[in-house]
Amino acid sequence: MRQQFTPPTPEQRKKILEAAEESERLVRNPEREKITALSRSQSWRLERAGVHPKATRLGYRFTAWLLSDLLWFVSQFQTLPTPSSHRGEHD
C-alpha cells in the first residue's frame, strides 16, 4: 500500500520554503517536472492514487501546484513510488 500525500502544515510550509530560499508561488508543469523528476503521466497517475500533490485548475488547460506542496512531496518521498507493472522487469 502506498503512503498517501498529506499537505504540509503552515509551519512546515514556512520551513521548507525558507530552506529552499523560495517564497510560495504556483508552479506550472515544466517546472513541476524539474522539481519532482516525474513525467506528466507519472505525476498524473500518482495524483489519482493520492500519492502526489493535487493540481489546482485555474482555467481551461491551466493547472498549477503550490511550490511548498511539491517541495514537501519530494522531501517526504525520497524514494518515489513506482507503478507496479513494468514490462520486461524481473525481481
Contacting residues for 62 by C-beta, under 8 A, at least 6 apart: none
Report the chain's terminal Cα–Cα distance, integer Å. Answer: 18
CA–CA gap between residue 38 and residue 51 (Å, rounded): 13
Predicted TM-score (pTM) of this structure: 0.80
Q: For the chain of 91 residues, list the mean pLDDT of each consecutive stretch of 10.
A: 84 96 97 95 94 93 95 80 48 42
Domain boundaries along the sequence of the chain: 10-76
Residue 6's pLDDT is 92
In this prediction, residue 2 carries a pLDDT of 62
